[in-house]
């Protein structure tokens, strides 16, 4: 007998309330600002299927969302058991023992399955490599922390429940070491600095995070930075995290006027600093092509081993796309003097 699947396995529900400052905007465009990896076609199909509501009434894709509207959408997606399918995907494993492994994630790889990314993720690869990964409260097996899809670099993955508990506490207590290399727009004036500011979702665009005044909203976030090299219209930085909030470095650097180079989500994919010469614009466009993602790499990772108690520290090479982009700017800076 054919058994109907549980509805929760087939559908993904989203609900948003339009902010007070919301200008009238088509519901399909509104939802694209709020749901990561949702294509306009997918949203329009949901509307055609009667799966988009505004204030509990089914609406068409051209409905104009207004301030205060409650918008809901329902997407079909694969059953839950398909989301955590082992897949034979090569992994760049830097270290592995019985308790944990450290992996160097390439840019473009999503860490865990979710809307629009149901396969090809790091979790799918890990489940193939390790038969029994410990689960956590978010149903993201083995994960203690994560990095964005288009950020490259080091991640530690727990292989046992006790290792996960031990490592998670270190990240919570801010005792782990995490250093990122970032290329940002503009000349960062101070050689060293600290950015502090609570981070929460941007109420007008749920795909972006935003810095809020202290205590106003969101979670505490602290980023320490050091200038490695000044390259004219961009600066190469080392960023060390005290906290690990979503998009922390990306949103903190934007908040002080230094958006990450080619960070599309936060406006870094435009010529933000420099001259008006066509030749310069062509140079920047070429740099974007060399590095078609935000210029951010999780270079160094340090923590106490949950079993041996030893201090573990790992370092990774800056990947080729980012290294080539930096070299291009170094060459530009030399010839501009």
Q: How many CB atoms lie within 10 A of CB 68?
A: 11
3-state secondary structure of 254: helix
Say how far residue 30 (Cα) sits from the centre of its chain: 21
| Pairing label, strands 152-158, 296-304 | parallel
222-230 and 192-196 as β-strands: parallel, antiparallel, unpaired? antiparallel
Residues 213 and 159: their CA atoms lie apart, in Å, by 38
Which candidate in 69, 148, 150, 269 is catalytic?
148
φ, ψ of residue 62 to 5 degrees: the values are -95, 5
Residue 28 falls in the annotated catalytic set: no
Q: What is the DSSP string of 280-333?
A: HHHHHHHHHHHS-S-SEEEEEEEEE-TTT--EEEEE-PPPHHHHHHHHHHHHHH
Query: Within the chain, how many helices (H) and strands (E) appear?
Result: 9, 17
Strands in 52-54's sheet, in edge-to-edge order, are: 11-17, 70-76, 52-54, 57-58
Beta bridge partners of 185: 234
Q: Is 96 exposed, middle or buried (0-12, 13-18, 19+ CB in 10 A)?
A: middle
Q: Which residues are catalytic?
A: 148
């Amino acid at each position: 007998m054919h058994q109907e699947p549980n509805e929760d396995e087939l559908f993904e529900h989203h609900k948003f309330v339009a902010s007070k400052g919301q200008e009238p905007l088509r519901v399909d465009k509104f939802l694209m600002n709020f749901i990561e990896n949702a294509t306009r076609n997918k949203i329009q199909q949901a509307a055609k299927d009667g799966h988009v509501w505004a204030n509990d009434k089914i609406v068409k894709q051209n409905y104009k969302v207004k301030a205060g509207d409650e918008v809901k959408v329902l997407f079909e997606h694969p059953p839950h058991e398909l989301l955590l399918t082992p897949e034979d995907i090569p992994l760049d494993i830097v270290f592995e023992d019985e308790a944990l492994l450290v992996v160097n994630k390439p840019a473009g790889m999503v860490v865990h399955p979710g809307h629009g990314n149901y396969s090809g993720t790091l979790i799918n690869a890990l489940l193939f490599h390790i038969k029994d990964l410990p689960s956590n409260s978010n149903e993201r097996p083995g994960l203690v922390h994560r990095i964005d899809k288009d950020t490259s670099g080091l991640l530690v993955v727990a292989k046992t429940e006790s290792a996960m508990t031990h490592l998670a506490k270190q990240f919570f207590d801010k005792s782990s070491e995490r250093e990122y290399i970032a290329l940002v727009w503009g000349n960062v004036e101070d050689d060293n600095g600290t950015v502090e500011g609570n981070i929460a979702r941007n109420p007008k665009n749920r795909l972006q995070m935003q810095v809020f005044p202290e205590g106003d909203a969101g979670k505490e976030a602290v980023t320490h930075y050091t200038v490695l090299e000044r390259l004219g219209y961009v600066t190469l930085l080392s960023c060390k995290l005290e906290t690990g909030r979503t998009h922390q470095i990306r949103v903190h650097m934007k908040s002080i006027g230094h958006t990450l180079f080619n960070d599309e989500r936060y406006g870094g994919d435009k010529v933000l600093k420099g001259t008006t010469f066509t030749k310069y614009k062509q140079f920047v466009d070429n740099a974007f092509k060399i590095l078609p993602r935000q210029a951010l790499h999780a270079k160094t990772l340090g923590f106490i081993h949950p079993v041996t108690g030893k201090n573990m520290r790992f370092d990774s090479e800056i990947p080729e796309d980012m290294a080539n982009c930096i070299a291009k700017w170094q060459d530009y800076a030399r010839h501009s003097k």
